[in-house]
Structure 1
C-alpha cells in the first residue's frame, strides 16, 4: 500500500514552500487528484496536532523573546527603574517559562513514546515522527539559546552601568570584585559598602535598581537552566539525524514531486486498463512503473 504519510511530513517540513499540510492531499496544483490510502491515519492526525501545538508554542516564545529584548533596552536607557516596565517584563518572562515548560514536556513525551515503540516496529510513520521530533527539538533549543543570550547580554550591560556609577564616585572595581558584590544577592548589603563614599542619591538609586535587575535575571536563568540543558543534550544526540534532514531538504522536495507524478501515472494507467478490459482488473502495470516501485519510491 502506498503510504501518504511520507508526503505529509515533507509537506510539513517544507511548509514555507508549499504553505499547506493537508491530510490526504498532495502539494500538486493539478485539478486531477489521486486518492492514496494512509496507514495509521487517525494516529498520525493526532501526532501532527501535537506537533502543531509545540510549533505554535515555540513561535510564541520567539515573539516574546523579541519583546523581552525591547523591554531590556527600555530599562537600560532609563536612569531609574519604572515599575510598569518591570511588571511587563515579569509577565512576558513568566509566559516564556510557562510555554517553554509546556513545549519541553510534550517533546519529552514524544521522545519516550518513540523509544518504547522503536524496538517493536520500524515503519514509515516511525521515521516521520522521529524526524519531526528532531526538527522541533532543534528549533526549541535555538529559540531558548536566543533567549539566554539576551539575558546574558542584559546582565553584562547592567553590570557595566553599576561599574560606571562606582567609577564616577571614585570607587573603581574590577570585574572579579563586582561579581563578588553581586553574588550576595541582598541589595542592602550590596550598597552598604559604598554609601560612605560620597555617592549621590541618584547614583545610589541607579546602582540599587541595576542590582535588583541582575538578581531577578539570575533567578530566571536558574529556573530555565535544567530544562534547557535537558533539551540541548537531546538535540546533541540527534545531531546526525538533524544534519541529514537539513542536507536532504532540497532533494526531498523534488523527490516527492516525482513520486506524486509517478503515482498519478499509475492511477491513470489503471483507469485506462479498466475501460479496455471491462470489469476485469488490470494485472500488469506499465513498463518501468509497478505499484511496488511506487511504494519503494515513497518509502525510500
Structure 2
C-alpha cells in the first residue's frame, strides 16, 4: 500500500462541504481497516520469526517486518493528521445541524482509530514478551548461571550485548555458541524495534485520547446548553400557564363584578321605583 497516495488524496478532498467531509470520513475509516490488516500480517510475521530455524530466514522475515512496521507507522501519522484537519474544519464551521453530524462522524472514526492503536499495542507487547523469552532460553543454553539482571542487560543494552558476544566467543568456539550468539543479536534488534513501536503507539494513543477528551468536552457543552435551553423553555411554559390561569381568574372576577353591579343597579332601580310610586299612592288616599 502506498501511503503517499493516501496523503495526497486527502489534500484534494474539500472537507468544507458535507459531501467532501463524509467522503474523507469514509476514506479514513477504510485506512483504519487497512492498518488492521497490516497488524494481522505483522502478527503472522512475528510468529514466523519466532519459529525460524536459520539466520537467512530470520533476516528475511525481519526485513519484511521492518518495512511493514514503517509503512504502518506512516499510515498512523497520516490518519492522525487527517483527523486533526477534520477537527480544525469543524471549529470554523457554522453552528447548524450539519455541525452536529460532522462532530458525530469524526468522533466515530477517532474511536475506531483508538481501538486499532490499542490492538496494535497489545500485539507488539505480546510478541515483545515472546521474543524476550526466546532469547532468554537461548542464552541459558550457553550460560546456565546467568542472572535475571544479566539477561535484561544483554537484551536491552547494546553495550552489554556486545560484551556478552565477546565473552561468548572467547570462552567457546563451538558451533552452538555461534548459533546462539547470532540469534541473540538478531532478536536483540527485533526487540529494540518492537520497543520503539510500542513507545510510538503509546504517544499516538495519548494524542488521540486527548482529542477524544476535547471532543467530549465540546459535546458536554452542547448537551449542557441543550439541557439549559430545555429548562428555560419548560420554565417559560410554566410561567405562561400561570399567566393564562391568572388571566382567566381575573377575567372571571371582572365578569362576576359586572353581573353583581348590574344586579345591584336593577335592585336599586326597583326599590326606588317601588317606594316612589307607593309613597305617592299613600298620599293621594
Give yes or no for TM over 0.5: yes
Query: Which has the greater radius of gyration?
Result: 2
Shift of 1:97: 1.1
Q: TM-score, normalised by structure 2?
A: 0.62
Coordinate RMSD, CA, aligned: 2.8
The answer to whether residue 15 in structure 2 is matched with residue 47 in structure 1 is: no
The answer to whether residue 190 in structure 2 is matched with residue 213 in structure 1 is: yes
Whole-Å Cα distance in 2 between the matches of residues 150 and 109 of structure 1?
29
Runs of 5+ unmatched residues, structure 2 = 1-14, 220-285
Count of aligned residue pairs for this structure pair: 200
Q: How does 1:226-245 map to 2 (within 5 A)?
A: 226-238=203-215
Runs of 5+ unmatched residues, structure 1 = 1-40, 243-300
- Cα–Cα, structure 1 residues 79 and 238, in superposed 2: closer, same or farther, change >3 Å? farther
Find 1:140's aligned residue among 113, 116, 125.
113
- What residue in structure 1 maps to residue 177 of structure 2? 200
Find 1:100's aligned residue among 76, 79, 83.
76
The answer to whether residue 109 in structure 2 is matched with residue 159 in structure 1 is: no
Whole-Å Cα distance in 1 between the matches of residues 164 and 211 of structure 2?
39
The answer to whether residue 151 in structure 2 is matched with residue 178 in structure 1 is: yes
Post-superposition CA distance 1:246-274 (Å, at most 9, x none)? xxxxxxxxxxxxxxxxxxxxxxxxxxxxx
Post-superposition CA distance 1:119-164 (Å, at most 9, x none)? xx43211111111111111110111111111111111111101111
- What residue in structure 2 maps to residue 36 of structure 1? none
- What residue in structure 1 maps to residue 54 of structure 2? 80
Kept in 2: contact 1:68–1:89 (CA 8 A): yes
Q: TM-score, normalised by structure 1?
A: 0.59
Whole-Å Cα distance in 1 between the matches of residues 167 and 29 of structure 2?
49
- What residue in structure 1 maps to residue 85 of structure 2? 109
Find 1:56's aligned residue among 22, 30, 41.
30
- Cα–Cα, structure 1 residues 116 and 87, in superposed 2: closer, same or farther, change >3 Å? same
Q: Which has the higher contact order (CA 8 A, sep 6+)?
A: 1
- Cα–Cα, structure 1 residues 181 and 200, in superposed 2: closer, same or farther, change >3 Å? closer
Whole-Å Cα distance in 2 between the matches of residues 192 and 237 of structure 1?
53
Whole-Å Cα distance in 2 between the matches of residues 238 and 172 of structure 1?
55
Shift of 1:236: 4.3
